[in-house]
Amino acid sequence: MENDINSWTIESAEKAVLDFDKLPSEQKNGFVACLNKKFPPSVYRSQRERRERALANAGQARQALNGAVQKFPPFIKNDTQAPVPEDLGQCAIVLTAGGDGERLKKSLLARGAPEDTLQNFAKATYPLPGLYGGFGALQANLCLVSSINKKYGLQVPVVVTTGPSGSTTARVVPEILKKHDRFGLEHLMVIEQDERLHLSKDGKIAFVMINNVPRPVTHPDETGGPLMKLKKEGAGPDGSVLKWLWRRGCQKIILLQATGLYAPELLFRMASALKRNDCVGAGIFRSRFDASDPFGTYVSTVKDGLEKVFIVEQEIRNDATLLVKDPSGNFYLPYNTGLYAFSIELLMQADLPDYATPPKEILPNIPRSPKIGYAATDLFTLSKKPAVLAIPRDWFEVIKNADDLEKLSLLGKRFGIDKMCTLTHSPS
C-alpha cells in the first residue's frame, strides 16, 4: 500500500480508508496529505502488525489462569519497614497527565457548570475545591515533590507525561509549569505521549470530520505508552528520558496518576519496597471478594513449574480467583490501585508487550474495535521479583467524576498537601 517513497496516494488510500469514496476530491487530497505527515504507509503497516500481536497477546492473557494454581502474591505489609528518605532520593516520579477527562467534564456540565468555564479543560489541572491558587491534582503533586525535596535535601526528578501533540494537555501543562516557575523543581521534564490510529475490525483507517476537514481517528497508546516513551531515543536531552534519569543517579521510577492525590508516606513506602524487588504495585487487601467486584486483581500463578504475578481483570478471573486468601486467612486477593514502582533497569532491558483493550467505540456508525498500545500492568510480566505493597485505602484518591473533586481536596488537607501548595510557590 505504499509506493517507492513511502507516501500515500489517492489509489492506495482508497484501499485502506473506510468510506474514502464518500469524500469529495479536495477533501481526499487533504486527508492523504494529513496521513503522509503523521501516518505514512510504513507507520500504518507497523501499527497493523502491532495490532495483530496485541490481539494474540490478549488471547493468551485470557488463558493465563487455565490449568494454573492460583496463590496469594508476594506482599509487603505497610508496617514492616520504616520509610527512608534516601530511598526516595534514588527515584524519579512519573506523573501521567494525558487523560482528556470526558467523564469529569460531562459530570461537571450535569451539575450546571457553565461550558465557557471548561475551556482549556484537562482533568489533571481542574481546580480542586479550596486548594491554593486554583490548583488541580497535577499542581498539588508537583508541590508535594518540591516540598519533600526541600525538607529532606533531595533532588527527585519529575517527568510529566501529557497527551499526544496537539492535545489540550500537551498545550496546557507546559503553560502551567512556566507560570509557576516549575514549582521549584530543578529537574522537571514534560513529554508527549505517542498516538495510534484507531483501526477498524478489518484494520482500516477511520476518519472524523472536524470543522468540515477529515482527520484520522486516533487515541493515545494506553497506560503503558508513557513508559515506552521514556525509552524512545530523541525524547530526552541525553537521547532518551531513561538515560537522562539514569545519569542523574535515578535507579527507580514511581509511576503515579497526575489525576490523583497521595499520602506523602506512600511515596517513601514505594521507594523502600524496591530495595528487595524490581517491581512493586500498591494494592488494597480485600475483606470480601465476589464476582461483581470490578477491580483488577493481583494474583500469583504456578503453571508448568513457573510462578508469575499477574494483574487479572474481571473478565479473565475465575471462581478459584475469588477464593484465594492470604496466609492469615483474613483477606482475599488485593485489588490494583494503578500505582507502581519499578527499577529503571527493568524497562531498559525489555519492552512492554503490545496490548489490546476490549472493543471500544471508534465512531457511532462503525463497529467497535480494540485500541492498541501498551499496558502499565504488563510491568509485572517483565519482573523477576515482583511484590504487592499493602496500603490503606485512605492513602489515595483519584478523579473520575465531579464527586471525586471534594474527596481529593479533603485528602490534601488531611495530609498537609494544601499547605505545601501555599508554601511552595505563588503565581509569577
pLDDT in tens, 162-213: 999 999 999 999 999 999 999 999 999 999 999 999 999 999 999 999 999 9
What domains are defined for the chain?
39-424 (3.90.550.10)
Give the Å distances, CA to CA, from 361 to 129, 148, 206, 213, 365.
Answer: 33, 42, 11, 21, 9
Q: How far apart are CA 20 and CA 5, in angstroms?
A: 22
Q: How many CB atoms lie within 10 A of CB 133?
A: 17
Average pLDDT over residues 25-38: 97
Ramachandran category for residue 423: left, alpha or beta (phi over 0 → left; psi -120 to 50 → alpha): alpha
- Tell me: pLDDT of 5 over 80: no
pLDDT in tens, 33-84: 999 999 999 999 999 999 999 999 999 999 999 999 999 999 998 775 667 8
pLDDT in tens, 233-285: 988 887 899 999 999 999 999 999 999 999 999 999 999 999 999 999 999 99
Q: How far apart are CA 183 and CA 196, in angstroms?
A: 32
pLDDT in tens, 109-150: 998 888 877 888 899 999 999 999 899 999 999 999 999 999
pLDDT of residue 2: 44
- Tell me: pLDDT of 428 over 50: no
Average pLDDT over residues 305-312: 94
For 10, the enclosing helix (H) or strand (E) is helix 10-16
pLDDT of residue 425: 61
What cell was used for 76? Answer: 509487603
Average pLDDT over residues 292-305: 96
Is the Cβ–Cβ distance between 139 and 409 less than 8 Å?
no
pLDDT of residue 323: 98
pTM of the model: 0.94
pLDDT of residue 386: 98
pLDDT in tens, 395-406: 999 999 999 999
Average pLDDT over residues 334-362: 97
- Beta strands in 148-258, from DSSP E residues, in sequence order: 158-162, 188-192, 195-197, 207-210, 213-216, 218-220, 252-257
pLDDT in tens, 274-289: 999 999 999 999 999 9
The string over 378-392, giving b where at least 16 C-beta atoms fall within 10 Å of a residue's C-beta and e elsewhere, is bbbbbbeebbbbbbe
Which distant-in-sequence residues (6+ apart) come within 8 Å of 116 by Cβ?
A: none
Split at pLDDT 50, 70, 90, the class of 317 is very high
Average pLDDT score, the chain: 94
